[in-house]
Amino acid sequence: MPAIIEIKNVTKEFRVLNRREGLKGSIKDLFSRNYKTVRAVDNISMTIEQGEIVGYLGPNGAGKSTTIKMMTGVLEPTSGEILTNGIIPYANRAKNAQEIGVVFGQRSQLWWALPLVESFRILKDIYQISDEKYDGMLELYKSLVDIEPLLHKPVRQMSLGQRTLSDILAAFLHDPKIVFLDEPTIGLDVSMKSKIRTLIQALNREKNTTVILTTHDMGDVDALCRRIVIIDKGKMLYDNDIEHLKSFFGSYRTLKIRTVGELASQAESIKKELPEFSVTADDEWISVLVDEERSKVIDVLGQLQKSHKIKDMQLEEISTEEVIKKIYEEGVV
């Protein structure tokens, strides 16, 4: 299949003011020329083919949003080349906008007070969609999801899940070549997550639309993506299919426990008891990353019960952040 997105040695740098502390420092900053250069994206290259669903993953601040803003034409790279659908996005923003759809950061492109169908009609005029094409998309939508109850409902009266579903339908309405989805299932219940994942799969299959998905939910990745790209601190760490990733990390589980006693001191104690394990703590849980090919979770839990009073526990699949950490540590390519 032909490449629809080509990124070659792309770097993006920002000039950031070195700010001083306090009121006097703020006043001095008004006249300061003391800048530092921050490299948000560092020499990234990749090719994405027509019809692919690619998971673009990384921790907060990794450079995901900056990369996508360059692909959508909002930002111009400091160096390197980007082509989306054969054009330079930042040099041809209007033309590029006709060929892409976006759902970003829960920022709705729907009109708050209007029924959904009126928002669709406004988008039809904006994108100059023919009557035949518009009617065809509505029929497709009706065959995929039950949108009849939503069409005449004002957006402000919709639940979060209904708004997200409607935003995704709006992003695909003009039959774009590429759709960018940023955390499409965040905050949704299990049922709505499943419905939205099924919808994205169906639209990708029916229209052969390329989908770039950014998410921290590994359920989205497992359900939708055959290929994932992981970046951290602006650098690409991984670009391969998800099965390759699972072959390295499918045996990892996170054992989360609550113990009697002060959490920080308990976590430090467990780190000393389990030096070969990755042990972290947040406000509620102490987390132990377990490779079940080397140690059974039940054995680790039994060992901890001998020296700590455990009042609660959970077992989770390895998180995106832990996957990234292991990729970085072990150099998986």
Confidence (pLDDT) at 28: 66
- How far is Cα 235 from Cα 49, in angstroms, rounded to an integer? 21
- Comparing 23 with 313, the larger pLDDT belongs to 313
Neighbours of 186 (CB within 10 A): 15
Model confidence at 29, pLDDT cuts 50, 70, 90, reads low
Confidence (pLDDT) at 31: 72
CATH of 251-317, picked from 3.40.50.300, 3.20.20.60, 3.30.70.260, 2.160.10.10, is 3.30.70.260
Q: Answer yes or no: is pLDDT of 256 > 70.
A: yes
- Comparing 316 with 314, the larger pLDDT belongs to 314
Q: Answer yes or no: is pLDDT of 35 > 90.
A: no
Rounded-to-5 percentages of helix, strand, coil across the chain: 40, 30, 30
- Among 29-38, 65-74, 125-134, 181-190, which is the least confidently predicted range? 29-38
Q: Average pLDDT, stretch 266-282?
A: 88
Q: Answer yes or no: is pLDDT of 170 > 60.
A: yes
Confidence (pLDDT) at 232: 87
How do the domains of the chain map onto residue ranges? 3-246, 251-317
Q: Average pLDDT, stretch 27-31?
A: 69
Sort residue 326 into left (φ over 0), alpha (ψ -120 to 50) or beta. alpha
Fold of 3-246: Rossmann fold (3.40.50)
Strand runs labelled E in 170-309: 178-182, 210-214, 227-232, 235-241, 252-259, 278-281, 286-291
pLDDT in tens, 72-120: 999 999 999 999 999 999 999 999 999 999 998 667 889 999 999 999 9
Confidence (pLDDT) at 330: 65
